[in-house]
């Protein structure tokens, strides 16, 4: 399936999982907007991606996704620059049990806003030609973590929201497939935040337990997560899917029992 000529937007795309996703999209000839808070890492990312993939294929847009107006502008700038929008990956996330309200804003509220903005630009309801949204949750949504109660809550929320809006898209014939991705531990800068009291708050005292869990379950590399994202984009049968990625089982899907009367 050729993705050439398509346009993607990835939040938190300047490093970690988001950066790997951006590179997979560029490798498939998709033009990409890299939306990220971090100006310095974003500039560095732009220079490296221009050198590797050629200028004009991606653009870094500095944006705090918790600022609704700025997020709206980032979407509009992407469409103004590349003429359309086909794929949105709501990936940016933080781990901060101290400032837990911020964690809810970044990990859940902004994912909801990003999904609604994606629909504004892609839904047939608005005369657009459809697309795919992928929201990044975590295996923390399945294995409740004593180190991260609010992080865990946000990741549960992302799954609930995504499954419900995916059903709405199907019922309303929006032409947009909306899926959720739940990785286990991934080797990115986020994982190092487990050491910091500033991030973990009073739960920092459980950091050894957290590290034991990483040793037990293993740590994935970002390109495998990007492979999962590409599958969610290219498999036209997937809507409301909950993809899990773990060391033990690789890429697989969560199945839910059908509701009984």
Ligand X SMILES: NC(=O)C1=CN([C@@H]2O[C@H](COP(=O)(O)OP(=O)(O)OC[C@H]3O[C@@H](n4cnc5c(N)ncnc54)[C@H](O)[C@@H]3O)[C@@H](O)[C@H]2O)C=CC1
Q: Find where tokens 């837990």 sit.
A: 100
Report the nearest approach of ligand LYYGC724 to the CB of residue 229 (Å): 16
DSSP E strands: which ranges in the chain? 7-11, 31-36, 58-62, 87-90, 131-136, 176-183, 242-246, 250-253
| The pair of three-digit structure tokens given for residue 171, joined into one six-digit string | 């019922």
Which span sits near ligand LYYGC724 by CB under 6 A: 52-60, 103-111, 141-149, 170-178?
141-149
For ligand LYYGC724, the closer CB: 98 or 213 = 213
Report the nearest approach of ligand LYYGC724 to the CB of residue 120 (Å): 29
Over the window 190 to 229, marking each residue x when it contacts ligand X by CB under 6 A and - when it does not, the resulting string is xx--------------------------------------
Q: Beta-carbon neighbour count of residue 100 at 10 Å?
A: 16
Given candidates 96, 188, 199, 239, which one binds ligand X under the rule CB under 6 A? 188
The 3-state DSSP class for residue 173 equals coil
Kindly state whether residue 246 participates in binding ligand LYYGC724, applying the rule CB under 6 A.
Answer: yes
Task: List residues with catalytic annotation.
Answer: 151
Report the nearest approach of ligand LYYGC724 to the CB of residue 250 (Å): 10
Q: Is 103 exposed, middle or buried (0-12, 13-18, 19+ CB in 10 A)?
A: buried
What distance in Å separates the CA atoms of residue 194 and residue 207, rounded to the nearest whole number?
6
> What totals of helices (H) and strands (E) does the chain contain, helices first?
9, 8
Given candidates 26, 30, 58, 92, which one binds ligand X under the rule CB under 6 A? 92
Q: Find where tokens 């560095």 sit.
A: 44
What distance in Å separates the CA atoms of residue 192 and residue 169, rounded to the nearest whole number?
37
Which span sits near ligand X by CB under 6 A: 52-60, 87-95, 113-121, 124-132?
87-95
For ligand LYYGC724, the closer CB: 41 or 190 = 190
Kindly state whether residue 248 participates in binding ligand LYYGC724, applying the rule CB under 6 A.
Answer: yes
For ligand LYYGC724, the closer CB: 93 or 114 = 93
Closest CA to 36 of 95, 108, 100, 90: 90
Kindly state whether residue 145 participates in binding ligand X, applying the rule CB under 6 A.
Answer: no
Q: Which of residues 187-216 bind ligand LYYGC724 (CB under 6 A)?
A: 190-191, 193-194, 213
Query: Rounded to the nearest 5°, which phi and psi values hold at 43?
Result: -65, -45
Longest CA pairwise span in the chain (Å): 58
Kindly state whether residue 89 participates in binding ligand X, applying the rule CB under 6 A.
Answer: no
User: What CA dihedral angle connects 63, 189, 116 and 153, to 10 degrees?
Assistant: -130
Q: Give the footprint of ligand X on this chain (CB under 6 A).
A: 11-12, 14-18, 36-38, 41, 63-66, 91-94, 106, 136, 138, 183, 185-186, 188-191
Q: Give the footprint of ligand LYYGC724 on this chain (CB under 6 A).
A: 95, 138-140, 143, 145, 147-148, 184-185, 190-191, 193-194, 213, 217, 246-248
């Amino acid at each position: 399936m050729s993705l050439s000529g398509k346009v993607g937007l990835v939040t938190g795309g300047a490093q970690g999982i988001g950066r790997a996703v951006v590179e997979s999209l560029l490798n498939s000839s998709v033009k990409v907007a890299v939306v990220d808070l971090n100006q310095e890492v974003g500039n560095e990312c732009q220079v490296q991606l221009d050198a590797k993939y050629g200028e004009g294929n991606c653009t870094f847009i500095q944006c705090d996704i918790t600022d609704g107006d700025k997020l709206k502008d980032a979407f509009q700038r992407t469409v103004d620059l590349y003429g359309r929008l086909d794929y949105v990956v709501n990936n940016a996330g933080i781990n901060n049990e101290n400032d837990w309200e911020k964690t809810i804003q970044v990990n859940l509220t902004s994912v909801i806003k990003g999904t609604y903005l994606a629909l504004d630009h892609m839904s047939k309801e608005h005369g657009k030609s459809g697309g795919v949204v992928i929201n990044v949750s975590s295996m923390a949504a399945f294995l409740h973590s004593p180190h991260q109660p609010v992080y865990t809550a946000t990741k549960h929320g992302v799954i609930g929201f995504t499954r419900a809006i995916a059903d709405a898209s199907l019922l309303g014939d929006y032409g947009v497939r909306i899926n959720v991705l739940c990785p286990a531990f991934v080797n990115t800068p986020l994982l190092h935040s487990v050491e910091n009291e500033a991030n973990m708050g009073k739960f920092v005292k459980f950091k050894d337990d957290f590290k034991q869990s990483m040793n037990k379950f293993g740590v994935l590399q970002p390109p495998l997560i990007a492979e999962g994202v590409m599958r969610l984009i290219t498999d036209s049968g997937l809507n409301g899917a909950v993809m899990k990625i773990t060391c033990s089982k690789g890429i697989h899907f969560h199945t839910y029992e059908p509701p009984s009367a």
